[in-house]
Amino acid sequence: MALGRGDIIEVYFQLPYSKETKTHPAIIISNNDVHDEEMYICVMMTSSKTKDLFTFEISNEMLNKPSTKDFSQARCHIVTYVLEKHILTNANKSTLKPNAVDRLVTHINQISLSQ
């Protein structure tokens, strides 16, 4: 699979507040060194309008292809690794622009160190 940093993929997430596993889009934030291991480090996306410390809003200007959702965000506390074989699809065929990925990773790092 030819995927890279910033690509938006679709994967299953098991969330603690849900009894079922659901698919969510996720942004690949890892670099090529991790990709060589056939896995990616990703952060979950949602269209939920909850805004808090863990919110990183995704605007259409940050994407190479506009979203069909009226609101999108990365949930910066839901970061996981995903094996390539568990990626369902790159259904959105969209990518977060490099500058936006850098800002997202900076936000994740800031909230991780702030507590």
pLDDT tens sequence for the chain (115 residues): 578 899 999 998 877 776 777 888 999 999 877 666 788 999 999 998 989 999 999 999 999 998 888 899 999 999 999 998 889 865 557 999 999 999 999 999 998 887 5
CB 32 within 8 A of CB 113: no
The residue ranges of every structural domain in the chain are 8-113
The total of other beta-carbon atoms located within 10 Å of residue 7's CB is: 22
Q: How far apart are CA 94 and CA 49, in angstroms?
A: 21
Answer CATH for 8-113 from 1.25.60.10, 3.90.45.10, 2.30.30.110, 2.40.50.100: 2.30.30.110
Q: How far apart are CA 72 and CA 36, in angstroms?
A: 29
pTM recorded for the entire structure: 0.89
